[in-house]
Amino acid sequence: MLAAPVLMGVSLSACAQPVPAYPPGYQPLPPLRVEPAPPPPAGFIWRPGHWAWNGYRYHWVRGHYIRRARGWHRWVDGHWAIIGGAWRWVPGHWV
């Protein structure tokens, strides 16, 4: 019984990391839109839509097909991430 609070305290402190505030002028991301992908052409993969910041507001970039790159195995979707203590857009890329 004594071990449970100790373990719980360790896991809570390890997870509690502050999320940086959005820079001045930025707003939180709107909810993602669901876009059904049309049937795929041979040799292409679906790149889902995402929100992009234009300096004043977010705008939706629609999903579309891209040609599969020769020699690359998997597409990583673009995403927002905390880099250097600030929110940054990481473009999609092949790995």
Model pLDDT for residues 22-64, shown as the tens digit of each residue: 655 566 778 878 888 888 888 888 888 888 888 788 889 999 9
pLDDT for 25 equals 58
pLDDT in tens, 53-73: 887 888 899 999 988 878 777
Question: For the whole prediction, is pTM greater than 0.75?
Answer: no
The Cα angle at residue 28 between residues 26 and 32, in degrees rounded to 5: 125
Structure confidence at residue 62 (pLDDT):
92
Per-residue confidence (pLDDT) for residue 10, from 0 to 100: 42
Residue 50: Cβ within 10 Å count: 20
